[in-house]
Structure 1
Amino acid sequence: MKDSSKVIKEMFMLRSIACLGIVLFNSLDTAITHFNLSESAGHSVTPAIIHMIQMLLLFSTPMFIFISELIISKSYRDGVPPDFLKKRAKFILIPYLAMAFLFSIIDVNIDHAVPTFKLYLYELAKNFLLADFFGYFLLVVFQFYLLHILFARWISRRFSMRSVLICSIGANVLYLAIFNLIDLESLPFGNYYIISFLNKVPAIAWLGYFSIAFYCGRNFEAFIEMLGRQIKWVIAFVILSAAAMLILNQAGIMDRVYSKRFDVLFYTIGIIFIMVHYSKKLTRVPVVLVKVSQYSFGIFLLTRFYMYGVSQLAPAQYSLPNLLLFVVIAFAVAVFGSIAVTHLLNKIRFGPLITGRIGIGIQQQKPEKQIMKASGRRVGKFD
């Protein structure tokens, strides 16, 4: 049954910030490659600072994925309609195939001076079958839809919230720890592409995010009330988890800067809780953030293509001003270019199947007070 109350400004804020965080992360990543920044090249301070900033931005992709379940869980608390999966498969799996095809062309041209048809087919197969590109998150989101049905119909009715959260977070951490702490590629059966697929695509790699989003969405009003009481502890938790992430990275215990780290789970959840709490206090969401939220799906899918274009056109002579200018231009071009293309594609029939649909604007929602009154639901305990 669909809940008449909608997540309004909290999700606009979270989605837009997650989206912009992803673009900034990729702008910095592209700058490192473009200017060949490394300690061996004599730029020891600059890449270290960039990596630190990127570490603090690692919440972006998990937050984007988290939001998808929180909204579903709040909207469909006790079940989903019969056409639930069919509608979502169209706008999740088809864009996955489209992006896999398009990005395979870009990838081959980046890695090979003289591309061949065989190389294109090989790259396409990797993208389609092993999600060897940024579009893997679409498969994660679709798995969340399946998990939501399972949790709503069976798990939440048979097990307590506490038990489910402890087991799912524990399983998530242990699963990721295998990839984070063990050099699996050095083992006899270690294959980079298989290991990468298992590290990021199976639902267990994101199960903690899902279960927390599931229960926060089902009990959204109680969740908001709890945050109001515990926000100081949440802020302290985020500071400690961020420090732990940076220490583990600097110590070389987990030196990869990517979101599939078990310590990122705790950091991200804390960041989400803080953002939800303070966005709830806003009387009005800035128009620019609403627009970014509406086009976030397209921005996420198209950002890498613009990064490639900017890196092909920009001079590669390193200096700090050139680096900063590159990041600003890459960021702006990716955001505004993605919005423009998404807008144009949504004007044609099959366009949304490539970059997704444009989201609703906040003005299309009912005022929050009216929603709360209409829903007739009181703030209660988590269940």
Structure 2
Amino acid sequence: MRAIACLAVVVIHSVNITLTNYEHTVSQFEEYFLIAVRFAAFFGTPAFVFISELLLARSYPNKVPHGFFLKRVKYLLFPFVFMGLVFAFITTDSLTGFIRESLFNVFLGGYTGYFILIIFQFYILHVFLHKFLKNWSPVKVILVSLIINVVYLSFFNFTEPLAIPLGEYIWQRGHWLPFVGWIFYFVLGYYCGKNYESLKELVIKYKKIIILFPMINLIIMFVLVRSDILPVVSSKRIDNLFYTSSVIGAIILFSLYVKKVPHFILLISKYSFNIYLLHTFFLFYLPPIDFLNPLVYFIFAVAFSMFCSYTVAKLASPFQITQFLIGKPIPIPKHTKTQNNRG
């Protein structure tokens, strides 16, 4: 799931750079196809929130270990800050602009690494709430969290920016940062991690529905966009709550039938955080290539940005300091297998 979510995030930004670089030459079919691919990949960042909490709930059912926050500050927050400074440097041409953009990136999540600020909020929530969550009714808590999430996103999806300082920014992307906008994925991840064995049985029991749901939800999303009922172009759409949940269910179902995890999936998973932080850096410098049509260019952009990110992370891994700058690869067992637990 981590590997697929990582790939989805890269796909979204590769679509963006393709549409930007081929703005005047892309055909209507190519444009619509790329936009459809981007919408299909919107589950990426929300899935990371889900994965993070699922792993916490499974690994630390009672309490987080000593040094939990220090470790994550070193290997998540430090790289987030460093890459925020890097993106400020490459996107500005003056000291004043660099300082302003750096503060914007680090404190307001002004670049693609904003996800780290959200994850840290949920680390704190997990520490304070897990004692209560484990005693509450999963169905009721999941339903309440869904309602809260829907109401919160509805406000920003269906209203115009208020005439307040940073109003345009808050409506455009500032509302992404508070944990309320992701609370459903957090709660869902907690209970799925806490009851993972039961979850697998449930997924197998309703496998026919789970296979169909992602496509049904994606079609609904397309209809709402094309009809201008919900023209928001981001993963913070109301309908993405249901779409992401269905994709997560489908990935879990698929994983139960995989005997051995493919090597390339293990590689993407291992370097997922490095790829997440670095891929937009390489996309930033990727120029249009005249002899490639937009669809081929898009595929090339995905492969190019992922390969460059992986290569940099791989070459830098022997140097310990780089773990605090571009992230630390995630250790994986040499012979990782996903067993078929259908009983």
TM-score (norm 1): 0.84
1:342/1:355 contact within 8 Å kept: yes
Q: Secondary structure at the match of 1:184?
A: coil
The residue number in structure 2 matching 1:16 is 3
Residue pair 2:2, 2:48 contacting (<8 A) in 1 also = yes
Does residue 118 of structure 1 match 2:96?
Answer: yes
2:82 corresponds to 1:130: no
Equivalent in 134, 140, 143 of residue 166 of structure 1: 143
In 1, the alpha carbon distance for the partners of 2:330 and 2:57 equals 18
Contact 1:69–1:210 at 8 Å: present in 2 too?
yes
Where do 1:284-323 residues align within 5 Å? 284-311=260-287, 314-315=288-289, 317=290, 321-323=292-294
Cα pair distance change 1:28/1:169, threshold 3 Å = same
Q: Distance in 1 between matches of 2:127 and 2:88?
A: 33
Report the Cα distance in structure 1 between the residues aligned to 2:54 and 2:315, rounded to whole angstroms.
29
Tell me the CA shift for residue 205 of structure 1. Answer: 0.6
For 2:213 and 2:7, how far apart are their aligned partners in 1?
A: 23
Aligned to 1:343: 314
Q: C-alpha separation between the residues in 1 aligned to 2:66 and 2:77?
A: 18
User: CA, structure 1 residues 198+156, in 2 after alignment: closer, same or farther (shift >3 Å)?
Assistant: farther
More moved, 51-60 vs 193-202 = 193-202
- Inter-CA distance 230–132: structure 2 relative to 1 (3 Å threshold): same
Pairing 1:171-320 to 2, within 5 Å after superposition? 171-184=148-161, 187=163, 191-196=167-172, 198-311=174-287, 314-315=288-289, 317=290
Question: Which amino acid in 1 is paired with 2:100?
Answer: Y
Q: Is the 8 A contact 2:43 2:247 kept in 1?
A: yes
Structure 2 equivalent of residue 63 of structure 1: 47
Equivalent of 1:96 in 77, 80, 92: 80
Q: Tell me the CA shift for residue 193 of structure 1.
A: 2.5
Unaligned runs of 5+ in 2: none
Q: 1:235 to 1:42 in 2, by over 3 A?
A: closer
Task: Detail structure 1 runs of 4+ shifted over 4 Å in the superposition.
Answer: 364-369
Asked if the contact 2:146–2:184 (Cα under 8 Å) also holds between the matched residues in 1, the reply is yes
Match of 1:152 among 130, 134, 138: 130
The answer as to 2:112 corresponding to 1:107 is no
**TM-aligned CA distance change 1:354 to 1:182, over 3 Å:** same
C-alpha spacing 1:224/1:64, structure 2 compared with 1 (3 Å): same
Task: Kindly state the Cα deviation for residue 245 of structure 1 after the two structures are TM-superposed.
Answer: 0.8
Q: Give yes or no for the alignment of 1:73 onto 2:57.
A: yes
Which structure 2 residues correspond to residues 25-44 of structure 1 after superposition, within 5 A?
A: 25-37=12-24, 43-44=27-28
Aligned to 1:141: 119
Per-residue deviation, 1:364: 6.0
Secondary structure of residue in 2 paired with 1:79 = coil
Q: Which amino acid aligns with 1:85?
A: F
In structure 1, the residue corresponding to 2:112 is in which secondary structure? coil
CA distances 1:113-135 after superposition (whole Å, capped 9, x unpaired)? xx222222221121122111111
The one-letter amino acid of 2:43's match is F
* Distance (whole Å) between structure 2 residues aligned to residue 47 and residue 324 of structure 1: 9
Aligned length: 342
| 1:331-350 superposed Cα distances (whole Å, 9 cap, x missing partner) | 12211110111122221121
SS in 1 for 2:247: helix
C-alpha distance in 2 between matches for 1:84 and 1:148: 12
Deviating more after overlay: 279-288 vs 321-330: 321-330
**Which residue identity does 2:12 align to in structure 1?**
F
Whichever residue aligns with residue 358 of structure 1, its letter is P
What are the residue-to-residue correspondences of 1:46-57 with 2, within 5 Å? 46-57=30-41
Q: One-letter code of the match for 1:344?
A: L
> What residue identity is the alignment partner of 1:350?
I
- Aligned equivalents of 2:104, 2:165: Cα separation in 1: 18
**Contact 1:237–1:270 (CA under 8 A) maintained in structure 2:** yes
TM-score by length of 2: 0.93
Quick one: which amino acid aligns to residue 112 of structure 2? Answer: F
Q: 1:197 to 1:323 in 2, by over 3 A?
A: closer
> Residues 133 and 271 from structure 1, CA distance in 2 versus in 1: closer, same or farther, beyond 3 angstroms?
same
Q: For structure 1, which segment, 170-179 or 324-333, has the greater mean C-alpha deviation from structure 2 after superposition?
A: 324-333
**What's the secondary structure of 1:355's corresponding residue?**
coil
Percent pairwise identity: 30
Amino acid at match of 2:314: H
When Rg is computed on C-alpha atoms for both structures, the one with the higher figure is 1
Residue 19 of structure 2 aligns with an amino acid whose one-letter code is: I
Deviates more, 1:298-307 or 1:359-368: 359-368
CA distance in 1: counterparts of 2:119 and 2:196, whole angstroms: 20
